[in-house]
Amino acid sequence: MPTRVERKNATRHAILQAALRLSAERGFSSLSLRGIAAEAGIAPTSFYRHFQDIDDLGLALVDEVGLSLRQLIREARRRVSARKNTGVTRASIETFMEFADSNATLFRLLLGEGAGSTAPFRRAIAKEIARFTDDLSDDLRSAAKESGKPLADVGLAAEAMVTIAFNLGAAAIDLPAEERRKVADRIIAEVRMVVRGAQAEAAAAR
């Protein structure tokens, strides 16, 4: 027997999922309250029991999406350290692409709304992506120590990598599986370039 608050949370979740599904098709900025309500299987006015308006929902959505993604990334990272036979770059990007696949809607939301929405919304998204970059910076630093190959400007390198992976990865979502593989290879090669460049700069600076 679900308790009362559980029920409420369930509906809230249903709304978020509905919004996510719809925004994958037409973009978040063209969502309608009624459309969401219909998709979530509730009456339009019930929406207000959970969110003040659609922008409010948007922020909640970014929160939840960011959370899920970071959990996925953490898990993925563990998997990467597990398969030591492949290169770290390849393993990371392949894992990344894997769940960019299975969580396409999340990515679309995070990357498809660069300008399609209100400023607060955009800022929230930017913050989520910045978190990724920070996490990656930490990883790069420890990897550099282990391998003995120092990197210059780790923060910048991380930003470049995240930008490349996210944006090219997002563009690949629509493509057929085979094409996506190719894109993954491109991303890997490009990320490697950044790594090499950062290493070269570190070497030159010494």
Partner DNA sequence: GACATGAGCGTACATATGTACGCTCATGAT
Partner DNA sequence: ATCATGAGCGTACATATGTACGCTCATGTC
Q: Which of 12, 14, 24, 35 binds a copy of itself (CB under 8 A)?
A: 24
Q: Determine the size of the site formed for a copy of itself (CB under 8 A).
A: 45
**Which tokens sit at 75?**
């898990």
Q: Which of residues 129-148 bind a copy of itself (CB under 8 A)?
A: none
Give the per-residue contact string, 154-173, with a copy of itself (x = CB under 8 A; - = no): --xx-xx--xx--xx-xx--
Residue type (1 letter), 90:
R
Judged by CB under 8 A, the stretch of 2-10, 66-74, 91-99, 107-115 that binds a copy of itself is 107-115
Minimum distance, C-beta of residue 170 to a copy of itself, in the bound complex (Å):
6
CA dihedral 162, 164, 165, 167 (to 10 degrees): 110
11 binds a copy of itself, rule: CB under 8 A: no
10 binds a copy of itself, rule: CB under 8 A: no
Residue (56 or 75) nearer to DNA, CB:
56
In the list a copy of itself, DNA, none, the entry touching 16 (Cβ below 5 to 8 angstroms by class) is none
Minimum distance, C-beta of residue 47 to DNA, in the bound complex (Å):
7
35 binds a copy of itself, rule: CB under 8 A: no
Minimum distance, C-beta of residue 79 to a copy of itself, in the bound complex (Å):
25
**Which tokens sit at 184?**
């993954």
Query: Rounded to whole angstroms, how far apart are CA atoms 204 and 73?
Result: 33
Query: Rounded to whole angstroms, how far apart are CA atoms 22 and 39?
Result: 8
> What DSSP line would sit under 89-155, residue for residue?
HHHHHHHHHHHHHHTHHHHHHHHHTSSSS-HHHHHHHHHHHHHHHHHHHHHHHHHHHHHT---SSHH
Angle of CA points 193, 198, 202, to nearest 5°: 145
Contact 135, 73 (CB under 8 A): yes
Judged by CB under 8 A, the stretch of 41-49, 86-94, 131-139, 183-191 that binds a copy of itself is 183-191
In the list DNA, a copy of itself, none, the entry touching 184 (Cβ below 5 to 8 angstroms by class) is none
Residue (20 or 136) nearer to DNA, CB:
20
